[in-house]
A and B are shown apart, each in its own frame.
Chain A
Amino acid sequence: MLENYLPVLMFIIVGLVFGALPLIAGFVLGPRRPHPEKQAPYECGFEAFEDSRMKFDVRYYLVALLFILFDLEIAFLFPWAVVLEDIGLFGIAAMGLFVGLLVIGLLYEWQKGALEWE
């Protein structure tokens, strides 16, 4: 079974090479004339007047948290979906409970306005 994954590994390596090679080619073939103005961070013609790594809206963190919850749910759903016909009512009920709890969580978020982006 595992040898089926050899091409996958090779593909990943080839993918990495294809990320690195053009970059190297670009550095070799392209000119290299650094200039402070050219290398300043883009800022609509302004001088950048503060560090750009600033505080962010808490909602981004909220989305990240929600994502982790739901992505885990999906990770559980995948194997479940494949064997759906073998696990019978018990399996369906178990997953129903799990999804139900998450749906209640989603409802809560929704009603509390955690999903509002105004």
Chain B
Amino acid sequence: MSFETPDFSLALPEIWLLGAICVVLIVDLFVRGSRRSVTFFLTQAVLLVTAALAITTQWGVTETTFSGHYVVDPLAAMLKATLALLVVLALAYTRPYLEARGLLQGEVYLLALFATLGMLIIASGGSLLTLYLGLEMLSLSLYALVAYHRDSRQAAEAAMKYFVLGALASGILLYGMSMVYGGAASLELAVIAEAAASEEPPLLLLFGMSFMLVGVAFKLGAAPFHAWVPDVYQGAPTPVTLFISTAPKVAAVALFLRLLVDGLGPLHETLQPMLLILAAVSLLLGNLTAIMQTNLKRMLAYSGIAHAGFIVLALAAGTEAGHAAALFYVIAYGIMAAGAFGLIIVLSSAGTEAEQIADYRGLNERHPILAGVLLLLMISMTGIPGTIGFYAKYLVLKAAVEADLIAMAVLAVIAAVIGAFYYLRVLKVAYFDRPEVPPEGSQKPTGPNEGSVGEGEGATPSRPDGAAGTVLVPGASLPIRALLVVNGAAVLVLGIFPERLIALCQSVLGAG
């Protein structure tokens, strides 16, 4: 009996992360009460080391191991570092919020770590098997995270919807994979690509590709596979929403790049129309529905669908520049979404949830700095020059035009203009509306924290005078606010000096 011993050293980031998860899990089991923060800091340290490992051991290496199931290339290294850092950013916001609501338990961080491990595996997936493994690891952790606030009916409902729909999407994806496996007679993406590049690719491959696209679109939250997005974004505890809207989106793009570019890239001509439909529906539906929302979390969910439309459009271009644009866009979106949900976290306190747009009336007068961050984030999401959001949209449109998708590019611009309406409306509320309002605009506290109002310390701290709950008392401590400001500044700084990030995205995808 002989084995070809795989080269474990190539998979060092994942191996390290898995080992570290076990350690964190054990440590978390034996720390109690107020020392819970140990888990948090350990988690962050673990993730930082993971990012460092990904850069030091995998950057510039192009190899496969585990019999082709595991790929290391610049894209993998870059994705892994990005994913780990995004998770660090996302988790950094979580602690005070959870602590204030008595939700601070090690499981949040452990699940996030497991999800990260899944995402790293996706980033390095060289076969259908590894990709599916990573995806399930990610998804299952996310379902549990959404349901994390057990006493909240909204969260439970959101988790249930997410789980049922997610399981369905996974099933469809798996079904597609089985067809591709049948058509190409191999799980390995490199072999599948060869089969797809042949003169007459098997019909099974085309069928399988369509099914797999459904699964990927679901994970990306692109319409018409977006049904879970609004409910999950609104129902999940805000830190979890923040987490879901950052790194897993990047992972979804990674999944697309591995599965449908590395594997089935030669079939792009067949794939393109489907992607265009996805993009058009997402752009229109996302932006139009977002206008009607009064709940900021829900509005951001629909805006996320619209952003997914842009990402899909970039992918539909099918060129290396398009892929790079998608990658850049999703990273930019991650940073912006982290800031937006971070702002909600900062403005929420134990008894209140700053999730109604109406809650932001007069924010500028009370917290000019936070209002400034809001301004930056919103104009970046709109895509106004000087912010990272502008370059993201610019690159996507450029790639689309270069790929002769001019009509779609025009549609995207129109959609972006529609989108500007609701982003700017938030700013109008924050800057020009007065905080004194009639009581009908104040159905607060609503949302997932219904249950914790009574048991929160001293109950409802946020209802001083007759202002009936519209006064937001930032519950977050100074470091978190500083982080938020840094996050906002990053949007601006990366918007002014985007070249390095763009160049990085292009170089790992072999463009420019």
Q: Confirm or deny: A23 has a beta carbon within 8 angstroms of a beta carbon on chain B.
A: no
Contact of A90 among B3, B22, B26 (CB under 8 A): B3
Q: Confirm or deny: B384 has a beta carbon within 8 angstroms of a beta carbon on chain A.
A: no
Q: Confirm or deny: A72 has a beta carbon within 8 angstroms of a beta carbon on chain B.
A: no
Q: Which residues of A contact B30 (CB under 8 A)?
A: 111
B1 and A104 contacting across the interface, CB-CB below 8 Å: no
Contact with A along B1-28 (1 / 0, CB 8 A): 1010100000000000000001001100
Q: Which residues of A contact B29 (CB under 8 A)?
A: 107-108, 111-112
Contact of A104 among B3, B5, B22 (CB under 8 A): B22
| Secondary structure call for the A interface | helix
Q: Which residues of A contact B1 (CB under 8 A)?
A: 83, 86-87
| Secondary structure call for the B interface | helix
Task: Report how far A100 CA is from B3 CA in the complex, Å.
Answer: 22
Q: Which residues of A contact B3 (CB under 8 A)?
A: 90
Contact with A along B28-62 (1 / 0, CB 8 A): 01100000000000000000000000000000000
Which residues of chain A in 79-99 are interfacial with respect to chain B, using CB atoms and an 8 Å cutoff? 83, 86-87, 90
Q: Confirm or deny: A101 has a beta carbon within 8 angstroms of a beta carbon on chain B.
A: yes
Interface size on B, residues (CB 8 A): 8
Using CB atoms, name the residue of chain A closest to B18.
A101
Write the nearest CB–CB distance from A115 to chain B, whole angstroms.
13
Task: Report how far A87 CA is from B3 CA in the complex, Å.
Answer: 9
Write the nearest CB–CB distance from B25 to chain A, whole angstroms.
6
Q: Which residues of A contact B22 (CB under 8 A)?
A: 100-101, 104
B5 and A107 contacting across the interface, CB-CB below 8 Å: no
Which residues of chain A in 46-96 are interfacial with respect to chain B, using CB atoms and an 8 Å cutoff? 83, 86-87, 90
Task: Report how far A107 CA is from B30 CA in the complex, Å.
Answer: 11
Q: Which of A90, A101, A108, A112 has the most CB of B within 10 A?
A: A108
Contact of B25 among A87, A90, A104 (CB under 8 A): A104
Q: Which residues of B contact A86 (CB under 8 A)?
A: 1
Q: Which residues of B contact A83 (CB under 8 A)?
A: 1
Write the nearest CB–CB distance from A29 to chain B, whole angstroms.
52
Q: Which residues of A contact B25 (CB under 8 A)?
A: 104, 108
Task: Report how far A63 CA is from B96 CA in the complex, Å.
Answer: 35
Task: Report how far A112 CA is from B28 CA in the complex, Å.
Answer: 11
Q: Which residues of B contact A101 (CB under 8 A)?
A: 22
Task: Report how far A87 CA is from B29 CA in the complex, Å.
Answer: 35
Task: Report how far A19 CA is from B199 CA in the complex, Å.
Answer: 61
Which residues of chain A in 6-61 are interfacial with respect to chain B, using CB atoms and an 8 Å cutoff? none
Write the nearest CB–CB distance from B315 to chain A, whole angstroms.
36
Using CB atoms, name the residue of chain B closest to A87.
B1
Using CB atoms, name the residue of chain B closest to A97.
B18
Contact of B26 among A87, A107, A112 (CB under 8 A): A107
Task: Report how far A100 CA is from B30 CA in the complex, Å.
Answer: 18
Task: Report how far A31 CA is from B437 CA in the complex, Å.
Answer: 83
Q: Which residues of B contact A112 (CB under 8 A)?
A: 29
Write the nearest CB–CB distance from B94 to chain A, whole angstroms.
21
Task: Report how far A108 CA is from B1 CA in the complex, Å.
Answer: 36
Using CB atoms, name the residue of chain A closest to B29.
A111
Contact with A along B209-227 (1 / 0, CB 8 A): 0000000000000000000
Task: Report how far A111 CA is from B22 CA in the complex, Å.
Answer: 14
Task: Report how far A114 CA is from B91 CA in the complex, Å.
Answer: 27
Task: Report how far A26 CA is from B22 CA in the complex, Å.
Answer: 58
Task: Report how far A108 CA is from B25 CA in the complex, Å.
Answer: 8
Q: Which residues of A contact B26 (CB under 8 A)?
A: 104, 107
Q: Which residues of B contact A90 (CB under 8 A)?
A: 3, 5
Using CB atoms, name the residue of chain B closest to A100.
B22
Write the nearest CB–CB distance from A100 to chain B, whole angstroms.
8
Write the nearest CB–CB distance from B31 to chain A, whole angstroms.
11
Task: Report how far A107 CA is from B22 CA in the complex, Å.
Answer: 11
Write the nearest CB–CB distance from A85 to chain B, whole angstroms.
11
Given A90-B3, A104-B22, 10 new contacts (CB under 8 A)? A87-B1, A100-B22, A101-B22, A104-B26, A107-B26, A107-B29, A108-B29, A111-B29, A111-B30, A112-B29
List 17 A–B pairs whose Cβ atoms lie within 8 Å, in order of A's numbering. Answer: A83-B1, A86-B1, A87-B1, A90-B3, A90-B5, A100-B22, A101-B22, A104-B22, A104-B25, A104-B26, A107-B26, A107-B29, A108-B25, A108-B29, A111-B29, A111-B30, A112-B29
Chain B residues engaging chain A, CB cutoff 8 angstroms: 1, 3, 5, 22, 25-26, 29-30
| The 3 nearest A-B residue pairs measured at CB | A111-B29, A104-B22, A86-B1
